[in-house]
A and B are shown apart, each in its own frame.
Chain A
């Protein structure tokens, strides 16, 4: 036994494993959900993370800055009741002041600077840009939700029912798809402006204006088609899966199968295309406002700010550059974030 070269195995060298050691050998991996996996991949994508941070900063500042900013978006600083109109407040360059403000500064008072100057009516431009961003983001967000809801419902019904129902719905979709959407948006916006205007008078919605409401309607009517096509395609392939048949064999009805089996399996596609729909809506709102079909007069949006800036373009180019930059920044970061979402959640791209 003491022979070091012996190949003989000494049984005494082996001890039975303790309970603790046995437990150590059992590999228990915490169950990871699809969502957790996706989030992990998303946060590893630096471009998407930075875009997300930018979106969050822009959103939060558009919500909170107006709360403490000393100027309001519709106050013409040169117009004060009981005093003559002071035109020195109009068209101020950034970080310059009007006559009365200069006097206050001389008297040693603190005056909050006009960071982006003022517009031709003497309104603080910075706060107008912030409000414009707020409107643009709200339009983008709500329009996408409307598109999502309509598109998802119609698409899943068409995909699941198939046959004649699918045929009819898809032909309607084709018709809407073939309409020139720009023309339709302008037409609908101007028609709805006439009909909605009186109906909204006196309600809380009046301030936003009939144009924005009609914009939502336009989105609801026109832009759900691509979403519903996408979801229909997904559901057409998913409903052939055996787990759908298994659910039917257990006695499930159509709505149960759509809710429990089909939609959860195409949710990644839905999230991604919604995220990519938001910049699209912001863009549409901007060009409609640019054409004068956007928000009502004192309320700014990024598009109407850019449109107003055209008048004094040669003297005050920054007034066009600023809202244009903000639009670009929002749209770019939302697009990049949407791409990141797709990379993280689309199972077809996963290796």
Chain B
């Protein structure tokens, strides 16, 4: 991978995020929300990140942005590692986030223009009031909000409009990289389409790179260039969107893809749904070795020994399974 190193905007290596969960008065246990995850995001691409709820998708996004202090591992942005406070501060200008819940992610006591202008205020990115005003109106215009509504409060808007406010806020500092944490899950389908198309347009106009987190595979497939699949804090498969959709290699991804609803009944009937047995184990008591072995149809005794390596099984197609 060294030859296209320059192409990588974000490089994540062996990222770990453990939360200490207290199990008694004096004892605590690490909850391995993200355990040894490595991936790269190329300049200008959209990397989709899918997985069941509770598998650590959101934590990956937040730890990547150093909103949570990583327990281990390293994040490199534009080739530079993010370590010191100064690093992080600079990183914050170039990498932002769009949140899942358009209701709780906007402060109810702030007007739209204050919400959008907050990153500008924090980094003092303007010389005078009118410059700030102009920048805010420009951002509102860009995400399709009526600039007359700048002095309104967030509760006066619909969910889709609120998400647009959140996107305008993320764009305020002209970032290069945006973590989109399930930005459309809280919206209804028609609004989802509008917002997703807007993400597409913004990417073309501003040369943005996205980490797009979602649990809806169809949404992710539509917007992503490559897709990564997570299971219980670990990354199990990473490949081009088309490749992973049509030829999933990891047994978990295969079952995930077989569960995607098919609009064509003929195709739907022809496809066989792979139903997994059992429930997802608690991340507090993760199984030894491969985390998926308890539900995996191909599991053998060897799977309990060690975590299979996350390796390139086909060109550009990574998977963490020894049985491929």
Q: Are A250 and B156 in contact (CB under 8 A)?
A: no
- Which B residues are within 8 Å of any A CB, using their own CB? 62, 65, 67, 89, 92-93, 96-97, 99-101, 104-111, 118-119, 122-123, 151-153, 156, 166, 169, 172-173
A243 to B116 Cα, complex, angstroms:
12
Is A241 engaged at the interface, CB distance under 8 Å to the other chain?
yes
Is A311 engaged at the interface, CB distance under 8 Å to the other chain?
no
Could you tell me how many residues of chain A have their Cβ less than 8 Å away from some Cβ of chain B?
19
Q: Are A250 and B119 in contact (CB under 8 A)?
A: yes
**B residues near A250, Cβ cutoff 8 Å:** 92, 96, 118-119, 122-123, 169, 172-173
Is A33 engaged at the interface, CB distance under 8 Å to the other chain?
yes
User: Nearest CB to that of B154 among chain A residues?
Assistant: A243
Q: Are A251 and B108 in contact (CB under 8 A)?
A: no
Known: A242-B104, A243-B104, A265-B107. A251 touches B169 (CB 8 A): no
Is A248 engaged at the interface, CB distance under 8 Å to the other chain?
yes
24 inter-chain pairs at a CB distance below 8 angstroms, sorted by A residue, are A31-B111, A31-B156, A34-B109, A241-B104, A242-B100, A245-B67, A245-B99, A246-B97, A247-B118, A249-B65, A249-B67, A249-B97, A250-B96, A250-B118, A250-B119, A250-B123, A250-B169, A250-B172, A251-B92, A251-B93, A256-B122, A264-B107, A264-B110, A265-B108
**SS of A interface (majority):** helix
A249 to B63 Cα, complex, angstroms:
11
Q: Are A261 and B107 in contact (CB under 8 A)?
A: yes
User: Nearest CB to that of B96 among chain A residues?
Assistant: A249
- Which A residues are within 8 Å of any B CB, using their own CB? 31, 33-34, 241-243, 245-252, 256, 260-261, 264-265
User: Nearest CB to that of A242 among chain B residues?
Assistant: B105
**A residues near B173, Cβ cutoff 8 Å:** 250
Beyond A31-B156, A246-B169, list 19 extra A-B contacts (CB 8 Å).
A31-B111, A31-B153, A34-B153, A242-B101, A243-B106, A243-B107, A246-B166, A247-B118, A248-B67, A250-B92, A250-B173, A251-B89, A251-B92, A260-B118, A261-B107, A264-B109, A264-B110, A265-B107, A265-B108
A261 to B109 Cα, complex, angstroms:
8
**B residues near A31, Cβ cutoff 8 Å:** 111, 151-153, 156
Q: Are A251 and B119 in contact (CB under 8 A)?
A: yes
**B residues near A252, Cβ cutoff 8 Å:** 118, 122
Can you list the 7 inter-chain pairs with the closest CB atoms, starting with the nearest? Answer: A251-B92, A242-B105, A250-B119, A243-B107, A264-B109, A242-B104, A249-B97
Q: Are A242 and B99 in contact (CB under 8 A)?
A: yes
A278 to B62 Cα, complex, angstroms:
44
